[in-house]
Amino acid sequence: MADQTKEPQLFELSNGSMHVKITNLGCTITSLTVPGKDGQLADLVLGFDTLEPYVKGAAPYFGCIVGRVANRIKDGKFTLDGIEYSLPINRPPNSLHGGHKGFDKVIWEVSEQKGGENPSFTFTYHSRDGEEGFPGDVLVRATYSLTSSTTLRLDMEAVPQNKPTPINLAQHTYWNLAGHSSGTILDHSAQIWANHITPVDQNTVPTGEIMPVKGTPFDFTTEKKIGASIQEVPGLGYDHNYVLDCGEEKEGLRHAVRLRDPSSSRVLNLWTNSPGMQFYTANYVNGITGKGGAVYNKHAAVCLETQGFPNAINQPNFPSIVVRPGEKYKHTMLYEFSVE
């Protein structure tokens, strides 16, 4: 197996004001530095100084692209065209983020790189028929590019070669706009362009219901502090799929979320063409030693994982995530950083 001998490498995108480091292990963002007020630079993503902890699996999906299917598949089972498939139960009782060795734990090929004002890297991966229980070969591409002085764009594509398959890729970076080592994100404020969420059962799998957020702690339709009503959320915090149903559109993308940190005045506006977004407040991060010796704890960051709905393959009323040969899965995320 030639694949096993490939070493992960680190690549850097820079345009003078923004610096992003990415490894081809899981297409993972390990560092993203952007100015705050008074031009102060900070690294906004949780992660490690070296690649070794990523290789050893020390990160709870820090910075990576997850797939073939992001989020949970109930009981690790689904039926497609009359065939039942069984997946690894890597997060009992469900399958999570593609199984034991999802797209986050494989080494991608670097297929293209561009310099200049809008530098980019394109990574590709060939997912095999039967890999982690999923049907058919799939060719996957991910391109990270700096499209303006403080904008990062991610374009993900996947093409099934010979069988229909569920595909749902997500970018799982843990963001802290004050800097990765600055403590919790409970003082960040968020506005999410979603009038509904998909409520979950005790195993964090959607029940199938589409629930209005109005009058609940899940309501971020107007800007509010993440910590304002997090205590009212059942469980340890937010870990829910928001239905992106009311954002304005631009260039085929919908406004998903605006995240703001009062201490640095940094703002992140995220645009996507996905129907949902997992809003996750790092509830299970517990004493992980990261970059520069920083210790990451609960609520040290927030994940903004635009996606198809969790367990959509088993929920006929959710938008379908099945992609058939001859079709192409396309998922774009635009991260616009600013200071206000």
Q: Residue 162: is it exposed, middle or buried by C-beta count within 10 angstroms (0-12/13-18/19+)?
A: exposed
- The one catalytic residue in 97, 157, 172, 331 is 172
Distance CA 205, CA 84 (A): 19
Is the dihedral angle over the CA atoms 275, 109, 10, 90 positive or is it negative? positive
User: What's the CA gap between 59 and 167, in Å, rounded?
Assistant: 23
| 72 labelled ligand-binding | yes
Give kind and range of the element (H or E) at residue 197: strand 196-198
* Catalytic residue status for 172: yes
Query: Is 242 labelled a binding residue?
Result: no
- Residue 293 sits at φ, ψ, to 5 deg, of 80, 5
94 annotated ligand binder: no
Taking the C-alpha atoms of residue 204 and residue 72, their distance in angstroms, rounded to an integer, is 8
Q: Which of 97, 255, 305, 331 is catalytic?
A: 305
Ligand-binding annotation for 71, yes or no, is yes
Residue 20 has, within 13 A of its CA and on its CB side, a CA count of 27
Ligand-binding annotation for 75, yes or no, is no
To the query of whether residue 305 is one of the catalytic residues in this protein, the response is yes
d(CA 323, CA 71): 17
Q: Binding residue per annotation — 239? A: yes
For the annotated binding site for beta-D-galactose, the residues are 71-72, 172-174, 239
Which residues are known catalytic residues? 172, 305
